[in-house]
Structure 1
Amino acid sequence: MSSITAMAAEETQMLGLKGVYEIKQWLESTTHIRLPFNVYENQAACTVNCLNSEVKRFDIYGHLLRKSPVPLVVEAKRYTTPGHQGTEFRKFLAIAYSSIVKSIKDNGADDRREFMWVTFHPFSQGDWPDLLSKAYLREALKVHSGYLAGEEIDEELIDGMPDRLWVLVYHSKQKSLLLTREELLLAHSVLKREGEGW
């Protein structure tokens, strides 16, 4: 690898890491989400396995702070244009479905994991109202059928998938609206979403 190529790769990684931290800060500032792991510092925590034996590493892993915490994986896209997000998003949907089925097969139970796509730029605006629909997920599984590894689609799981999928658009200007770390600690001490010891 040339020094110029290495520098470009390092710059891309730093830009990605910056985007991950910005999105983590934004999501945690809602007080409804806790994201202690990112792929740059803890790949294992951010990794899921698919039916076709493919391994996928998401950018961030943590929990939605509900009465019983729900596992959450986040894919962060620091784009300045729509780019190829429509294609990538369909793959994301297929991976989400496949990894849930694989987890149920391996563990005998569903961990209720949810999947969040957070982007700095909107995409597929013509399809926007349908991005989390069952029909869109079916189409994603048709396009990326390899993630099914020859298995039939589980209709009951497909029916519940829209409730487990998120698409959010973030803008850097929102940083000025976030709670500071000190404010967040104070909010959690009152809200107790994570319990007494947070």
Structure 2
Amino acid sequence: MPGEAMHQKGADGARRAKLWLDATTRVSSSWTNEDAVHAARLEFKWPHGEEQPYSFDVGGILSGGEFHGQFFVAECKNYTSDSDQGIHFDDWVAKCYLTRRDQFRLADHFMWITWHPFRVKTWNNLCSAESVKKGLLLERNRVRVFGTSDESEAVSMIDATLAQDVADRMWIFVLSEKQEKLVITPENRALVFTEQMKRGEL
């Protein structure tokens, strides 16, 4: 797929994911990496050997219940096949680890939102500390995260407690076009938020 078309497909996925998250009524504010004001909140620096920063596609603030007021960031994969999604997932978990380690005030939850399942044979293990460690130990991530290409040295630098903490904060959503339509209507969502405002919950 040409670069411009790929960018448009990615931007469309981020927009659709944001709309779906907003429609859950559990998000009080959200933005994408193309937002003129808030995009910088989604961009972070690799600590070693990588000039190009990494970023997430969507971010926001959760509302209500046990997650009220907590920040989330999300990666959106507008895929129609398994493709190379697993490779991107491995990089994503390394980004989650770094963000939680170095910028913990900016992200309490990490969401992977896709339109196609992947790694189905290991699906139940994707949100695990071992999955986080696997992503961190890929050669490209060892260099970018720990500043070394030596695997044993990188292993010694992984914070096992942090890896588990990150795993506990990971969410995976598989959406579909029909599912995107079966959400609260904008009119009813407005009623929900109006009632929450009356109660002082927003």
TM bracket (short chain): 0.7 to 0.9
**Percentage identity across paired residues of the two chains:** 28
- Of 133, 145, 148, the residue aligned with 2:145 is 148
Structure 1: 5+ residue stretches without partners = 105-109
Counterpart CA distance in 2 for 1:171 and 1:177 is 10
The structure-2 alpha-carbon separation of the partners of 1:195 and 1:44, relative to structure 1 and needing over 3 Å to count, comes to: farther
CA contact (8 A) 1:132 1:166 kept: yes
Structure 2: 5+ residue stretches without partners = 148-153
Q: Which residue of 1 aligns with 2:54?
A: 56
Q: Which residue of 1 aligns with 2:111?
A: 116
CA contact (8 A) 1:49 1:103 kept: no
Counterpart CA distance in 1 for 2:45 and 2:5 is 28
Q: Which residue of 2 aligns with 1:177?
A: 182
What is the TM-score normalised by the length of structure 1? 0.82
The RMSD of aligned alpha carbons is 2.4
Q: Which residue of 1 aligns with 2:126?
A: 131
CA contact (8 A) 2:49 2:143 kept: no
Counterpart CA distance in 2 for 1:125 and 1:178 is 26
Count of matched residue pairs: 185
SS at match of 2:137: helix
The structure-2 alpha-carbon separation of the partners of 1:112 and 1:77, relative to structure 1 and needing over 3 Å to count, comes to: closer
SS at match of 1:115: strand
What is the TM-score normalised by the length of structure 2? 0.80
Cα deviation 1:166-190 (Å, max 9, x = unaligned): 1110101113212222221211223
Q: Which residue of 2 aligns with 1:28?
A: 22
SS at match of 1:50: coil
Cα deviation 1:114-133 (Å, max 9, x = unaligned): 11110010001011000001
The structure-2 alpha-carbon separation of the partners of 1:94 and 1:81, relative to structure 1 and needing over 3 Å to count, comes to: same
Q: Which shifted more, 124-133 or 22-31?
A: 22-31
Q: Which residue of 2 aligns with 1:107?
A: none
Counterpart CA distance in 2 for 1:167 and 1:69 is 20
Counterpart CA distance in 2 for 1:65 and 1:50 is 30
Runs of 4+ in 1 over 6 A off after TM superposition: none
